[in-house]
Each structure stands twice: as C-alpha cells, then as structure tokens.
Chains A and B, each alone.
Chain A
Amino acid sequence: MLEIKNLHAEIENEGREILRGLDLTVKPGEVHAIMGPNGAGKSTLSHVLAGKPGYRVTDGSATLDGVDILDMDPALRAANGVFLAFQYPVEIPGVANMTFLKAALNAQRKARGEGEISTPDFMRLVRAEAGKLKISQDMLKRPVNVGFSGGEKKRNEILQMAILQPKLAILDETDSGLDIDALKVVSEGVNALRAPDRAFIVITHYQRLLDHIRPDVVHVLSKGRIVKTGGPELALELEAKGYADFVDAA
C-alpha cells in the first residue's frame, strides 16, 4: 500500500536534512508502529507524507497504491486516502466541529467525483461515530478544538478519521495526553477501523498504546532513518532498554 524508498527531506528555510534515506513498506491491513527518540524525524515523516509546506524532498519517493503522492497537492492526497492525526491539533475559532467535518468530507467526495453527502446521512454518521468515541453533542457544536482539553483534541482527530475513512492513517502521538479511559476509547476507535484495505502508521513513545492497538510491525526511527524493524516484541524490548543500542547503530 505505502512504499517509501530512500526518502530525503529537509527543512525548507534552513536546508537542514531531517529525513535521511528512509525506507518503509506498509501492506494493506497492517498496523505499523514507529518509535524513536525526540527529534528523530517522526513528525517530519508524517508531515512530508501529508504534504505540509515548509519541507523540501530532495531524493527518494513515496507511493500509495503505486501512485506517487509527493507531487500531489495535500488536499488531493487527503482525497486519495491519506490522513494525519496531528500531534498538535489546531484550533479554528468560530467554525463548528460539525461544519468542519462536513466541509472536509464533502470536499473529499467532490475530489473523488462522488456527490455530496445528504445532511440526514451525515448527521447519522457523525452521531454514530461520535457516540463510539464518547464525544458529546456539545463538542460537535463547539468550534474546532477551541477550548478542548488535550485528550478531547486527540479524540476529535480520531473522529475525523472515522468520518473520512482514509486508506492510510498516520497517528502522531495520539496517545499522549490521553487518560487511561480515553486511551481505551481511542484505541477501540482505531481497532474498529482496522480493515483489510486500510493501513495504519502509529507513532508513539509508549508500549502502553500498543497493548491496545496490536501492531504487526514495529520500527525504530532514529536520525531520519528506520534503524531497526521487528515484531510487537521490539516495543517491549525498547520499553525495557531504551533507544541507546539502536541510536548508536544509526
């Protein structure tokens, strides 16, 4: 599904290289966890895949179902099924959460040549998904992320994912800031979306999340490269020993 080869990317203004020859292959239906020290380039990878301005790709490729996504407009990437749950979700004053969701969904449907969703269908969909994530009606009416607690923001990201039904979902530290109950709710939300034609990249610092969302593959990202790949047991090993062994290898 996702095929990243020798990806090099730098910060546009500084010319500092952050991703330095990163390779990653994710097959449909799989969940990959990416772990790694602060500043390793995990968020940068997610931004580059989602098309955030401010980065320059200097080498390598990233294809989704064989289509190069790095040259695509970010909005088109979204319509093609790329979704990023942000490490730091952004506040948009005055725009009701519901309005935002509907605008996003319809924009994607339009880009794919599908018709707009009817209001009743949309309401049903949102109610059902919000219910699963324990998101209140009130939160749906409030402006996007404004005054939301850290955990509420993260749950809201998962709600967006559930509504938009992406092919490839990248969750950047969605677990940080969640209390134990919220972690469960969010994990269940993610697990419910696991499907044979959908893949996840879960960026996290903690084994805890991986108890709830069982990954198929675990990677260690250090200094802009994948330096170690293993099964779920790798996360346990990291938890016990830290990154020291792998970071030196990079």
Chain B
Amino acid sequence: MAAVKETVDQVRAIDVDQYKYGFETDIESERARKGLGEDVVRFISAKKNEPEWMLEWRLDAYQRWLTMEEPTWARVNYPKIDFQDIYYYAAPKGTAGPKSLDEVDPELLKTYEKLGIPLREQAVLAGVEGAKVAVDAVFDSVSVVTTFREELSKHGIIFCSISEAMREHPELVKKYLGSVVPVTDNYYATLNSAVFSDGSFVWIPEGVRCPMELSTYFRINEKKTGQFERTLIIAEKGSYVSYLEGCTAPQRDENQLHAAVVELVAMEDAEIKYSTVQNWYPGDKDGKGGIYNFVTKRGDCRGDRSKISWTQVETGSAITWKYPSCILRGDDTKGEFYSIAVSNGRQQVDSGTKMIHLGKRTSSRIISKGISAGHSQNTYRGQVKVNRKAEGARSFTNCDSLLIGHDCGAHTVPYLESANPRAKVEHEATTSKISDDQLFYCISRGLGPEEAVALIVNGFVRDVLQQLPMEFAVEAQKLIGVSLEGSVG
C-alpha cells in the first residue's frame, strides 16, 4: 500500500486542514461544544491558528450579533432557529458516515446515477467511511491541485483557503475582509463573521488574466467547507477571473443552517465572473429536513470600468435567501445578474439581486428565471437603486416565472429607487405555465412526461444557461431535470 501512504503524505503537504478529509483522526476533539458563545469563537480561531487581529475581528462580530434580530421580510416560513442547538465547528460531514454504498439512501444514489457520477465518486459524495475510497478520490485530486497551483503561481495568482490566506497574506485579508459586506451588514453575515470555518481566497495581480476557470479545486474543497463559508476574491487593475462555486452532485448534510458570505472586489478595468450551482439537500417531499441557505454575496466594482457578473443556478436547499449584488461604485462599471431558481416539493426560494448605481454611466442587467413546481414558493426580490450622482445610469431587468402544476407560487418583488431623473431603468416581468398542449406535443413525439418538462424548462432558462461555462451548463441542465422530477402527475 505504498501508493496510499504516498497519497496521504501528499495530501498532508498541501493543506494544513487535511484532517477534514476524513482520515483516521479523533474527530470528537475537533468539535466545538454545542451552541454559541465567546468561548466557541475563541475555539474556532485557535483551531485555525489565526492571528490575534482575526480573533478580535470575530469577537467584535459576535458581540454585535448578540444585539441583532433575525430578519423577517423575506417570503419564507420556517420554525425559529435555536442558535444554541447548533455545532459551530465540527467536521462538516457526519461523524458516523455510512459504512458502504449499501447503507446510502437509494434515492440519493439514483440521483448520482442520473447525473452520471462514477461509483467511486458517489461513495465520496455520500460520505461513505473508509480510507480506500477517499484516498483514491483524493489521489486524483492531489495531482490536479498541484498542477493547478504551479500554473497559477506562475502568474502570481493566489488561490488558497481563507485560513491559509490569513496566515500567509494577512495584509490582503486585513485590507479586504469585510470591506464589501461589513461585519454588521445583516444578521447572518454578522454570524458568519464570528464563526466562519473556511472558504476560498483568490487574488489576481494587476493585468493578469487567470488562465483557467477556478473550479475543480473547489469541488474538492467543497467537502471541507462547513456551514459558514467565507470567500474573498480580489481582482486587481485590468485582471480577469472566472470562478465557479459548487458541486453539481447533491450532498446530504446534517447542517440545517448554512450562512455563507462572499465578497468580490474589482479594481479598475478588472472583471470577475462568479458562477454558482447550488443543490444542497432540499428536504423530503413533505418538507422535512433540508438546508436553510442564508447567503450574503456582494461584489464591489470599486475601480472605473470594472465589471462583476453573477450567474447562479439554484435548485437545492429547503429555504434559499440570497441576493448576489453589485455596488457600481466606479464610473462606467457594469453589474450583471443571471439567475435560474428552481423550486419543487416544499422548497421556498426568496432570491434576487441588488444593483446599486453610484458611479456615472454605470449599467446593470438582470435576467432572472424562476421555475416553481410542486408546493413550492419562488420569489424574485430585486432592487435597483440609482444614486443622484449616477449620471447616465442604465438598468434593465427581465424576470420570468414559470409555473408547473397548480399548487406552487411565483412572486416578483422589484424595488426601483432612482434619485436621478435621467437614469434609464427598465423592468419586464412575465409569468407563464407549461401548458398541457405543450406537454402533450412533446409526449406525442416520444418523450416521457418528465423528459418533456425538463426540455421545456431548459428552453425557458436557455438565456441564462448560455452564461455558464460550457461543461457547467451541461451539468446544470441535467440537474434542473433531476430537481423537477415528480413535478408532473
């Protein structure tokens, strides 16, 4: 088993957080006590080997969080969260995983199969215990990660975990962390600031075009990140980066509450493209279980002529509360938001964007496609705000909802606020249903009812799918089909 030993060593070498891959470590000792308190914040910071200033930052956030109230304005319903009943720091995958694939929920395996995920990878995703499987998968990843790192460092790009960044590049983290999403931005962002466990850090030097999509790494990294992720991406002058977050294989996760924070900073002439595919566990047919996904994502077009583009495909989670936004601070900056939000079963989605026009000739473009099926509720909530000084600002919103069946709901809540009378702000919205005639037309050509729905829905979201990088788009397309299963009688 020399190869296995070698692999383990390689894994250890690349990341100080290697224990989280699930090797034979005493997991119990890696867990903070249940509940939240100053001691827990200190515990997390100590576990991460953080510098003193980071601990102070967290403690400050914690103190502020104590004085805040949970927001209630979103169109979502859920029982009150007991914040003292949560582990804020634990090995993110369940400590007692299934012993083999035979023990994994067959429904989950069926889904993996449909997505075309190889058996070996399925076992890893389902959190099956046993080093053999894990090591094999990790072995593949190690080489990938290493090649990636070499290539990236040649360009001076920093791409690492945020914990590592705090230790290796404190000046960058200090300068930018919390500069887009302030510590007290909102209840969940503040909570995240106090207890975030890990996430990614990206820094693209001036004038560099990142030579690859930063994605594969994250798929592996995903396993390690717990419920409170923190991501920070900085694109210096004239640089470009495309970042893909998420994994298209659904993951069971015992953590009910996920509250991530993502901050993007684009300097002059820089461009950041951030794509997400989110399919956390949505709960069962009756709405039992499932993730509460309360995310704060915001990009700051800090330099003139910079551009930030958010693309998201949201199919998972019991509750999604998420508004990736752009602050169009520099002159001639551009913000984009392309979204596909699919809800089925008892899922509740309240998602959209905020475009804040501060600079001159700033422009924003919002394309949102909401698909509701089953007994789900799907709300688009978007705000376009134009500052008095944002001369020549333009904004365009197109927001389409598609209903499947009779028991779901689609809602559009646009807020337009323009303090500049010359700004051009447009908003279009449509709501439609998949008609019985459309369904029968497809079925009469040989498609099964579910295939027919998937085809029609994929047509509906085509504009947005085209924004995703190619291979991602193909996976997303399959995923949309899978999430809508059972939506037609």
Contacts and interface: CB of A to CB of B under 8 A. Distances in A.
B299 to A, nearest CB: 28
A78 B445 contact: yes
B460 interface: yes
A119 to B, nearest CB: 14
A95 interface: yes
B156 interface: no
A91 B456 CA distance: 10
A164 B458 CA distance: 22
Contact of A94 (B435, B437, B458): B458
Contacts of B458: 94-95
Interface in A47-82: 50-54, 74-75, 78-79
Nearest to A79: B446
B116 interface: no
Interface stretch (B176-184, B252-260, B447-455): B447-455
A75 B445 CA distance: 7
B456 to A, nearest CB: 6
A94 B124 CA distance: 36
Contact of A93 (B445, B447, B460): B460
A78 B442 CA distance: 10
A143 interface: yes
Contacts, number: 74
Interface string B426-461: 000000000111101111111111010001101111
Nearest to A160: B445
B447 A104 contact: yes
B34 interface: no
A151 to B, nearest CB: 18
B445 A92 contact: no
B447 A53 contact: no
A208 B350 CA distance: 57
B271 to A, nearest CB: 27
Given A53-B436, A93-B460, A95-B459, A75 B441 contact: no
B444 A50 contact: yes
Nearest to B437: A90
B155 interface: no
Contact of B441 (A53, A86, A108, A164): A86
Interface residues of A, number: 29
Interface string A126-144: 0000000000000000010
Contacts of B449: 75
Interface in A90-113: 90-95, 99-100, 103-105, 107-108, 111
Given A90-B438, A94-B459, A94-B461, A78 B451 contact: no
B462 interface: yes
B443 A92 contact: no
A164 B446 contact: yes
Contacts of B443: 51, 74-75, 78
A94 B402 CA distance: 13
Contact of B451 (A94, A105, A107, A160): A107
A104 B448 CA distance: 10
Contacts of B437: 90
Interface string B379-417: 000000000000000000000000000000000000000
19 contacts: A50-B444, A52-B444, A75-B446, A75-B447, A75-B448, A75-B449, A78-B444, A78-B446, A89-B441, A90-B440, A94-B461, A95-B459, A99-B455, A100-B445, A103-B451, A104-B442, A107-B445, A108-B445, A143-B459
List the 4 closest A-B pairs by CB distance, nearest first.
Answer: A94-B459, A95-B459, A104-B445, A78-B446
